[in-house]
Chain A
Amino acid sequence: MGRKIVVDPVTRIEGHLRIEVEIENGKVKEAWSSGTMARGFEAMLIGRDPRDASYVTSRFCGVCYSVHQLCSARALDMAFGAQVPWGGNLIRNLVMGAQYIYDHVLHFYQLSALDYIDIMAVTEYKGRDPDLLAIKEKIVKLVKAGDPHPLLPRYKPDEFCVRDPEVVLTAVKHYLDALKMHAKARNMGAIWGGRTPHYQNIVVGGVTSYPDINQVMQFKTMLDEQKRFVDDVYVKDVIYFGTGPLWKLAKTGLGAGHRNYLVYGDFPLDPNWKELVFPSGVVYDFDHTEPKVRPFDHNKITESVKYAWYREREPVHPFDGEQVFDLDKKGAYSFVKAPRYEGRAMEVGPLARMIVKKHPVLFDFFRRGGKVGVVARHLARAIETQLMVEACYRWLDQLLVEMTKPGFKIHDTDHWEPPAEGMGYGFHEAPRGALGHWVKIRDKKIANYQAVVPSTWNASPRDEKGQRGQYEESLIGVPCPDPENPINIVRVVRSFDPCLACAIHVIDPVTNEVRKFVVE
């Protein structure tokens, strides 16, 4: 029996993902991924006016609210029989374009990069660059004050950590620049979305407010600045790290998992949805020399609850899914269900999208010996950010043309009233991956509602056949020589940009001194 370790952020912050692994001979032998929080939102929707769904589902999560708002609106579009005008789709696209830039830059610099650098290397810096020296001084000051809180990762640096002082300092500089960039990116979505957080403008049938020329120009100016950062800093950094200091790691294929990829497809570049930024497709047992992409058919999706805390039943399509908890169920270990495609566990997200698209930069990385895994995931995420930036320019131009046409429309107003009966599904490629909402309407009210979120695919537990979910499979064989320092496990899980619905947020000062702050 190997040694068991648990990586459980629940005890540290508002986490709700718990990873348990069994280590034997310095490697992960078995892994379990648990969602430790129940999402009761879907049950709350039953009996409500279907149009509420876009607002209510946007509260699934405090971070990626707009993705649910959009996905829900699309499910309702179908159920209501609404035809979203091209102008409405263009604005929906632009809202999400800003979300991509925001999410991916944040993920790389603030949430992941620290797993790959030895921050203390900066003390060795002997150069004369005034910017870098200022950053070095700041870090040293923090460390001396005993409060290096913002920068030190939780885990000890290992053989894969970058130690060149100049490279590390430059990375920290970019970390700071990235903060400024995504503070701005958040405002880009609000140009169309009305407010942030929780935009209000995406509804069944289209969007609610007409764009004016000033908004288009404002968005474009902000996009120019983001593009410079994405091209000159983000993508360059990822390629530099991935093919330079981390090339050894890239070649190991750390964290590959099942090698099955699923993309629903999204972001039309023309009114007929002929060309998409992210084409849909399914890949089994990926081999870069012979990538076979199959067509996607949503009828092949089922969800197993064998190891989840839900009432036991056979795997069903999400249209027939339910949320009936069974907390005493034997063998269950997660609130996340196990979605499968033709019975297989799939990975969704940037790597899946860039594989299905056969993006040349990623395939060049494979040809040179890079493997699917953590580094490939970061690379795919950076490349697709660039694709979204380029697409935003195209959408802005198209929007300007649409706006000058007589009868310019952003909403299908004829289909605003809920139908007596209806069914619909909506798909969206959210930054974290394939997202689907399914709705059934009876007597003009929601009769059933199910969402399968990207992290449900990636973080799923085992299914009725005992097949592991993608996080679990990705962890098998991962080196973990020091059980006290499971840095590789963290790298693997973080490379997916995990997100399970936002849980309880409470400021937790965790200090004995709390008494002195008591007012009354």
Chain B
Amino acid sequence: MRDEGVGIHVARELLKMDLPPNVRVVDGGTEGFGLLDFIWESDRLIVVDAVRGGQEPGTLYRFRPEDVKEGRQLRLSFHDLSLLDVLKISEFADRRPETVILGVEPARLDMGMELSPEVARKLPRLIQMVLEEIHREPEGG
């Protein structure tokens, strides 16, 4: 809730824009596995989410799933898997698109629909980062 929903705010803005026809904006909700079909039919994936990296609230991050080798075992919860787990599993199934994760350090995660001022301030820059990714040439070819 609140800053956790930063992705939805970005997605809403993107949907208002005139994006290239091969770009699809998806509000993934809180799903992990439910997004498998979207992930598998994409060549490139840009994930926008709150990222808890321990920096100042509002800090922007850009990284790839392969940068996050925890060196620990599958974080299988009792219930579902996180998006990172789903990406790892997609890689194992040879179906992982080139992926980049853009994130912002959250300030508030309590119940509510509005972003905190720290995160709201960074929203335009975050959207700009997504657009840069969209227009960037694919890596490795």
Q: Is the CB of B67 within 8 A of A186?
A: no
In whole angstroms, what is the CA distance A9 to B77 when docked? 6
Pairwise interchain contact A197-B28, C-beta atoms closer than 8 A: yes
The answer to whether A138 touches B92, judged by C-beta atoms less than 8 angstroms apart, is yes
Which listed residue, B36, B47, B61, B91, touches A182 by the CB 8 Å rule?
B36
| Inter-subunit contact B55/A514 (CB<8 Å) | yes
**A510 surroundings in chain B (CB, below 8 A):** 70
Say yes or no: A506 contacts B74, CB within 8 Å: no
Residue from A40, A149, A499 in contact with B79 in the complex, judged by beta carbons closer than 8 Å: A499
Chain B residues with Cβ below 8 Å from A154 are 73-76
A104 at the interface (CB under 8 A from B): no
- Chain B, residue nearest A499 (CB): B79
Instruction: Give the residues in chain A near B52, CB-CB below 8 Å.
Output: 506-509
CB contacts (< 8 Å) of A498 on chain B: these are 78-79
* Cβ–Cβ contact A517 & B31, under 8 A: no
Interface set, chain A 110-156, CB cutoff 8 A to B: 110-111, 114, 138, 142, 146-154
A61 surroundings in chain B (CB, below 8 A): 30
Distance (whole angstroms) from the CB of B67 to the closest CB of chain A: 7
B82 and A14 contact, CB distance less than 8 A: yes
Q: How distant is the Cα of A513 from the Cα of B63 in the complex, in angstroms?
A: 11
Does residue B46 face the partner (Cβ distance < 8 Å to A)? no
Residue B53 CB within 8 A of the other chain: yes
Q: Are A148 and B82 in contact (CB under 8 A)?
A: no
B residues 69-107 in Cβ contact with A at 8 Å = 69-85, 88-93, 101, 103, 106
- Distance between B62 CB and nearest chain A CB, rounded to angstroms: 5
B59 at the interface (CB under 8 A from A): yes
Q: Does B10 contact A (CB under 8 A)?
A: no
Considering the chains assembled together, what is the distance between the CA atoms of A498 and B80 in angstroms? Answer: 9
Which residues in A have their C-beta under 8 angstroms from that of B50? 505-507
Interface flag for B131 (CB, 8 Å): no
Contact with A along B44-62 (1 / 0, CB 8 A): 0001011111110001111
CB distance from B47 to the nearest CB of A (A): 8
Asked if B1 is at the interface of the complex by the 8 Å CB criterion, the answer is: yes
Give bound CA distance, A500 to B79, whole Å. 8
**CB of A187 within 8 Å of the partner chain:** yes
**Is B25 engaged at the interface, CB distance under 8 Å to the other chain?**
no
User: Is B23 an interface residue when CB atoms closer than 8 A count as contact?
Assistant: no
Distance, CA A513 to CA B37, complexed state (A): 31
> CA–CA, A12 to B73, complex, Å?
11
Q: Which residues of A contact B53 (CB under 8 A)?
A: 509, 514, 517-518
Contact across chains for B61 and A517 when beta carbons are under 8 A apart:
yes
Task: List residues 461-520 of chain A with CB under 8 A from any CB of chain B.
Answer: 490, 493-494, 497-500, 502, 504-511, 513-515, 517-520
The answer to whether B78 touches A9, judged by C-beta atoms less than 8 angstroms apart, is yes
Closest to B64 in A: A517
In the bound complex, CA of A198 to CA of B59 (Å): 30
Q: Would A506 and B73 be within 8 Å (CB), given that A187-B37, A518-B60 are in contact?
A: no
Q: Which residues of B contact A198 (CB under 8 A)?
A: 29
B37 x A184 contact (CB < 8 A)? yes
Complex: chain A residue closest to B91, CB-CB: A150
- With A62-B31, A506-B51, A509-B51 known as contacts, the answer to whether A149 contacts B62 (CB < 8 A) is no
Q: CB of B117 within 8 A of chain A?
A: no
User: Smallest distance from the beta carbon of A112 to chain B beta carbons, Å?
Assistant: 10
Give complex CA distance A106, B83 in Å. Answer: 15
- Alpha-carbon distance A163/B138, docked complex (angstroms): 43
- A513 and chain B: residue at smallest CB distance: B67
Q: Within the assembled complex, what's the spacing in Å between the Cα atoms of A510 and B71?
A: 10
**Does the CB pair A147–B71 fall under 8 Å?**
yes
Q: Mark A143-180, 1 if CB is under 8 A from B, else 0.
A: 00011111111100000000000000000000010011
Nearest chain A residue, comparing its CB with the CB of B129: A519
From known contacts A62-B29, A507-B84, A508-B52, infer whether A153 and B74 are also in contact, taking CB-CB under 8 Å.
yes
A508–B83 Cα distance when bound, in Å, is 11
Contacts of A233 in B (CB 8 A): none
Is A387 close to B, CB under 8 A? Answer: no
The answer to whether A215 has its CB under 8 Å from any CB of chain B is no
Rounded to whole Å, the gap between the CB of A42 and the closest CB of chain B is 13
Instruction: Compute how far the CA of A184 lies from the CA of B38 in the bound complex, rounded to whole angstroms.
Output: 10
Known contacts A498-B79, A514-B53: A151-B63 contact under CB 8 Å: no
**Contact indicator B36/A507 (Cβ below 8 Å):** no
Residues on B with C-beta less than 8 A from A14 are: 30, 77, 80, 82
Residue contact A183 to B31, C-beta cutoff 8 Å: no
* Contact between chains at A197 and B73 (CB < 8 Å): no
User: B109 at interface (Cβ–Cβ under 8 A)?
Assistant: yes
* Residues on the B chain within 8 Å of A497, using CB: 79
Given A13-B75, A149-B74, A151-B92, CB of A63 within 8 Å of CB of B37: no
Q: Does A362 contact B (CB under 8 A)?
A: no
CB of A268 within 8 A of chain B? no
* Interface contact A15-B49, CB-CB below 8 Å: no
Say yes or no: A504-B4 contact (C-beta < 8 A), given A13-B77, A40-B111: yes
17 chain-A/chain-B pairs, Cβ below 8 angstroms: A13-B76, A13-B85, A14-B80, A15-B78, A15-B79, A61-B30, A63-B79, A110-B81, A146-B69, A148-B73, A149-B74, A152-B74, A494-B78, A507-B51, A507-B101, A519-B61, A519-B129
A residues contacting B by CB (< 8 A) are 9, 12-15, 17, 40, 59, 61-63, 65, 106, 110-111, 114, 138, 142, 146-154, 176, 179-180, 182-184, 186-187, 196-198, 490, 493-494, 497-500, 502, 504-511, 513-515, 517-520
Shortest Cβ-Cβ A-B pairs, 8 listed? A62-B30, A517-B63, A514-B53, A183-B36, A183-B37, A13-B77, A9-B77, A519-B60
Given contacts A154-B75, A179-B36, A518-B61, 11 further A-B contacts (CB under 8 A): A13-B77, A13-B82, A63-B34, A63-B79, A138-B92, A148-B73, A150-B92, A153-B73, A182-B33, A504-B109, A514-B53
